[in-house]
């Protein structure tokens, strides 16, 4: 691995400094109440709401399964999860204490990961395996019927993009609102040719990822039609991976008020500049003379 410093580094005391003690306290099972429980069926999608100050848990109910997650500000879908900026501010594969950031001009944490049963994946719990694979991917994005048509010449309507499109339709959103995803439970990396690879999902029944909602969220998740990705989706070895598909569980928890004392939803970015733009220069004396004032 390259021993060079990260490009994006914050000054001390910035919003990138996470209060780990605060977020660790939110994982106490005795200080929460489950208020919703849902299941995302195989090869399908589902959307639901998570109020600010609540915890969202995504879990592998019956075995390994990859899911594609989208997030929006519940009250303003123009503010949505920004995978590439999250990749720069956090990591290409996220885990405990990493945050999921929103798009411009808002640029604030939408959710913070507070627990991850796969955080110890890899060689000696390093988070990376022998081939450079890591979990909870931001390098890639959702599979979609357009690239499938490009690669195979065939149509398939249950790719993650299409699953997300159907999931958000009841909330008034469309295909144009679906965006780059967090691939939960997905193991990926870059090979020696700097090309994206996917490996079989290492999650087992009961593994989970927990996120704390920093603002009111609309969430949507697709159960990837590739299942646990142990079967090639494209190429000479490709075949239908239906037998590797499992549902994903969704749980929403309300926290005890005392746990949230002093916490408040983050404000959008305070940048107040005009991007260097200026209004038209007007010679008011000449304008008055022209109008006969």
Distance of alpha carbon 66 from its chain centroid, rounded?
13
Q: Answer yes or no: is pLDDT of 1 > 70.
A: no
How many Å apart are CA 257 and CA 12, to the nearest integer? 29
Rounded alpha-carbon distances, angstroms, from residue 123 to 33, 98, 132, 206, 226: 35, 21, 10, 21, 25
Counting residues of the chain whose pLDDT is more than 90, the rounded percentage is 84
Which of 230, 223, 226 minimizes the C-alpha distance to 247? 223
| Residue 233 pLDDT greater than 90, yes or no | no
List 221's β-bridge partners, or say none.
Answer: 46, 69
CA dist., res. 236 & res. 151, Å (int): 11
Q: Which of residues 282 and 136 earns the better pLDDT score?
A: 136
Contacts of 24 by beta carbon, 8 Å cutoff, 6+ apart: 114
Residue 98 DSSP code: -
Residue with tokens 């005795």: 30
pLDDT at residue number 234 = 81
pTM for the predicted model, two decimal places: 0.92
Distance of CA 168 to the CA centre of its chain: 15
């Amino acid at each position: 691995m390259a021993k060079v410093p990260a490009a994006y580094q914050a000054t001390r005391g910035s919003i990138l400094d996470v209060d780990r003690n605060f977020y660790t306290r939110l994982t106490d099972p005795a200080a929460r109440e489950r208020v919703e429980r849902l299941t995302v069926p195989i090869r399908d999608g589902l959307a639901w709401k998570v109020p600010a100050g609540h915890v969202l848990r995504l879990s592998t109910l019956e075995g390994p399964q990859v899911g594609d997650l989208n997030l929006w500000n519940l009250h303003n879908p123009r503010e949505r999860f920004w995978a590439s900026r999250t990749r720069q501010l956090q990591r290409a594969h996220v885990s405990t204490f990493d945050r999921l950031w929103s798009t411009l001009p808002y640029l604030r944490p939408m959710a913070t990961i507070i627990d991850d049963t796969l955080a110890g994946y890899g060689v000696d719990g390093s988070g990376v395996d022998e081939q450079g694979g890591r979990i909870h991917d931001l390098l890639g994005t959702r599979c979609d019927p357009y690239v499938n048509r490009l690669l195979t010449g065939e149509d398939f309507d249950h790719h993650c993009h299409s699953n997300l499109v159907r999931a958000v339709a009841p909330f008034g959103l469309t295909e144009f609102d679906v965006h780059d995803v967090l691939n939960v439970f997905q193991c990926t990396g870059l090979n020696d040719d700097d090309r994206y690879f996917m490996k079989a999902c290492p999650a087992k029944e009961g593994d989970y990822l927990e996120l704390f909602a920093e603002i009111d969220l609309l969430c949507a998740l697709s159960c990837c039609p590739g299942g646990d990705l142990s079967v090639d989706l494209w190429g000479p070895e490709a075949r239908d991976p239906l037998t590797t598909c499992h549902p994903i569980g969704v749980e929403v928890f309300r926290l005890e008020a005392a746990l949230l004392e002093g916490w408040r939803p983050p404000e959008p970015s305070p940048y107040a500049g005009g991007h260097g733009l200026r209004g038209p220069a007007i010679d008011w004396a000449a304008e008055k003379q022209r109008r006969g004032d």
